[in-house]
Amino acid sequence: MVGIKVSLCLIVKNEEEHILNCLNSTKHIVDEIIVVDTGSTDNTVRRAREAGARVFFYPWNGNFSDARNYALQQATGSWILVMDADEVLASIDRESFHALLANEQAEGYFLTIHSYQGSGREYMIDHVVRLFRNKPCYRFSGAIHEQVAPSILQESRGKGLQNCSLIIKHYGYLETEIKKKDKFRRNTSILLRELAKCPQDPFILYCLALEYYQRELVGQGLECLKKALQFMNGSEGYFEDVIVATANGLLNLGLSEELLGFTEKYLQILPENNNLHIFRGLGHMQAKKYAQAAEELFRSLGEEENKFLPRHKHLCLLGDAFLLSGNVEQAVKFYLSALTYETGLTYPVIRIVDLLRKNKLTCEKLCAYMSADTLNKAGKQLIAAQQPYYAMLLFIFEIKLLFREPRQDLMLSQSVLEFYQIIHYQPFLQVPSFHYLCLLVRELYLCSLIIEKDYHAFIKIDERVSQLTNGIARLIVRDYCPKMEITGDVLGGDNAEKKSIIRQPG
């Protein structure tokens, strides 16, 4: 839109690996790039200039707000977009972006931040004001975890801030980045310095707790959060975050009874907070109160994914809770629902295999909850994830369903033939039952040809097809799928992901 100029403002130090990714993600929507360098010793400055940025220098004084505000002073645009060099703006077209700027009622916008954690498979969601009008009275405050929202709210009498659909992907909390930049030492030293000045500042205590959590020093973080709550009245914008982070700490330390008491207390204040219901459900899981756990986890299952618990893991936990409470039917439904959200998961398939192996679930009952398309998609994902045993099981159930309701657009014989090829591509020859498995599949292939030729009106094969598919499924479960016991682990999820099922605040 003509007449609306946007300035991108960054403060940087030794970001040569990331800065171009950041600038390239915004160059189509900004008119000016302001980069304030606080002491780089690499090629950050050169790369910023080559990308068209105006570069300024500011001596680092241990205060992020001072550096941010110096960058704002250099901006000439009527709107300012604030980012870090290790962030990337998700795709948005120029027209949609400028429609936000044309909103006369908005002084600034909350953007959604996806902060990727650990290895990058999970991210924490936050909402922060990063896009706002360029006014001298709008300035950042706080030595660390600095915020501009308070100044905007103060000047606009509590109004002027709106939500928008813009997403920023933040990679600074990846494990590799934290170690490389030693952010823990830098951040905690600043926070402890500020805490010495204001020992009763709950926001500083909260920020310090997050740093301890990030370093897996949960006990120290929890102590900070408990202190923070002593100095809060509930009106703070981050009050619910402190409550949820405290519950998270209690869960991670295994303090289930204290967690249940804590969530009961604060649900009286925040009855609609789904996060508290989740942590209450997890507390019941730790305390082996599985029926209560299922009730709380089901209550917290909203339409949108929770910021602390990925939806597929939420569904797996519900499956665990119902299973451990003795409700196999509900457990299977939630395990299968998890596959529709994350089709490459092995965890729900492992649970289902265990139920089949222990005769707590029949093939016929299982097929009543499944669709052929879901099974096919999930099976292909498991093949890609190098889990052929579980994929074979899903494929044979898919074939079982296809035999029940043959589709004109899909040849049964082709599906069975593809299944046969999958078997032969796997190193199963050492398994004694391998040749028997092949014989069963070949007979199933003949049955598929009979149906395709429309001979089944003369040759009754329905019962034999059921016997074959059930027999193949039982054989796969018995001889090919690894045996893994259900432990009732409160974290559920895939083994590699157990530590991260609850996203750490960041």
Q: Does residue 495 carry a pLDDT above 70?
A: no
Same topology between domain 6-178 and domain 181-309: no
| pTM for this entry | 0.75
Tokens of 315: 């569904």
**Most confident region among 22-36, 310-324, 342-356, 426-440 by mean pLDDT:** 22-36
**Most confident region among 68-82, 146-160, 338-352 by mean pLDDT:** 68-82
Residue range 181-309 forms a domain whose CATH class is mainly alpha
Is there a contact between 76 and 154 (Cβ–Cβ < 8 Å)?
no
| pLDDT confidence band for 503 (50 / 70 / 90) | very low
Tell me the pLDDT tens digit for each residue of 5-54.
Answer: 999 999 999 999 999 999 999 999 999 999 999 999 999 999 999 999 99
- Dihedral sign for Cα 117, 121, 124, 127, please: positive
Residue range 6-178 forms a domain whose CATH class is alpha beta
Tell me the pLDDT tens digit for each residue of 54-112.
Answer: 999 999 999 999 999 999 999 999 999 999 999 999 999 999 999 999 999 999 999 99
Predicted local distance difference test score (pLDDT) of residue 87: 97
| Coil, strand or helix at 124 | strand
Predicted local distance difference test score (pLDDT) of residue 374: 80
Across the chain, what does the average pLDDT equal?
87
Distance CA 68, CA 222 (A): 30
Is there a contact between 55 and 37 (Cβ–Cβ < 8 Å)?
yes
Q: Does residue 321 carry a pLDDT above 90?
A: yes
Predicted local distance difference test score (pLDDT) of residue 376: 83
Segments in 385-461 forming alpha helices (H):
388-404, 412-425, 434-452
Is there a contact between 29 and 6 (Cβ–Cβ < 8 Å)?
yes
Q: What is the mean pLDDT of residues 388-399?
A: 86
| pLDDT confidence band for 506 (50 / 70 / 90) | very low
- The domain locations on the chain are 6-178, 181-309, 326-479
